[in-house]
Amino acid sequence: MNILLEIAQLVLPGLLVLIAVYLMQKHFLKLQSNHSDRVSAMQARKISLPVRLQAYERLALLMERIAPAALVLRVTRPGIGLFQLQQEMIQSVHEEFEHNLSQQIYVSADCWSLVKSAIEQTIQQVNVTVAGLNSDADAGTFAAHFLQNVLEQTSNPAEQALQMIRSEAIRLF
């Protein structure tokens, strides 16, 4: 029994030291891991921030380019027929949208939904305006009716999307 007591007196302090060293080492490694995770996250943010800002800039430009007044000014030209104008306006909106499809991975789902909705509603506004005119109407008549229809709306989808784009871009800082 005396031998067991002596062995316990020799082994027990060693075990306690071993357990203390293990716990301290575990805590230190956890702190190191957290620190390296934070450093990695900061590096990733430093790299992704310019790309995300560029995405917001491109989507803001998209909304400006499909805004009714800008669209009419960019696509309308003298001597163009009503249906050709309709086709070119819709094609212009589609091309702008397709050019910016990849930006959806950098913005929130809500923001992207508003962008898509603005695209769809702009195309719908073009089609509704054309449907309300005689087939022999010219580009000037279309432009006047198109802009009037837009002004009569209570909300501008492109402007709503642009506001959300700005809001999200500001939150990056």
The phi, psi pair for 155, rounded to 5°, reads -135, 150
Residue 39 lies in a domain: no
> Is residue 81 classed as helix, strand or coil in its secondary structure?
strand
Q: How confident is the model at residue 43 (pLDDT cuts 50, 70, 90)?
A: confident
Supply the pLDDT for residue 135. 85
The number of helix segments (H) and strand segments (E) in the chain equals: 6, 0
Find where tokens 């009419």 sit.
72
C-alpha torsion angle, residues 155, 161, 164, 165 (rounded to 10): -150
Residue 61 lies in a domain: yes
Q: pLDDT tens for residues 95-139?
A: 999 999 999 999 999 999 999 999 999 999 999 999 999 988 888
- Distance, CA of 8 to CA of 15 (rounded, Å): 10
Question: Which contacts of 32-40 are long-range, i.e. CB under 8 A and separated by 24 or more positions?
Answer: none
Supply the pLDDT for residue 11. 86
Supply the pLDDT for residue 44. 66
Nearest CA to 60 out of 151, 140, 145, 158 is that of 158
> Is residue 83 classed as helix, strand or coil in its secondary structure?
helix
* Domain enclosing residue 112, as ranges: 49-171
- Distance, CA of 97 to CA of 86 (rounded, Å): 17
Supply the pLDDT for residue 37. 78
- Distance, CA of 118 to CA of 34 (rounded, Å): 42
| Structural domain total, the chain | 1
Q: How confident is the model at residue 5 (pLDDT cuts 50, 70, 90)?
A: confident
Instruction: Identify the top-confidence range among 5-14, 24-33, 47-56, 160-169.
Output: 160-169
pTM of the model: 0.74
Mean pLDDT of the region 22-39? 87
Is the predicted pLDDT of residue 14 greater than 90, yes or no?
no
Residue 62 lies in a domain: yes
Q: Which of 38-52, 61-75, 86-100 has the lowest mean pLDDT?
A: 38-52
36 dihedral zone (left: phi>0; alpha: psi -120 to 50; beta): alpha
Q: pLDDT tens for residues 138-162?
A: 888 999 999 998 888 888 889 999 9
Instruction: Identify the top-confidence range among 11-20, 34-43, 71-80, 84-93.
Output: 84-93
Both tokens assigned to 35? 């620190």
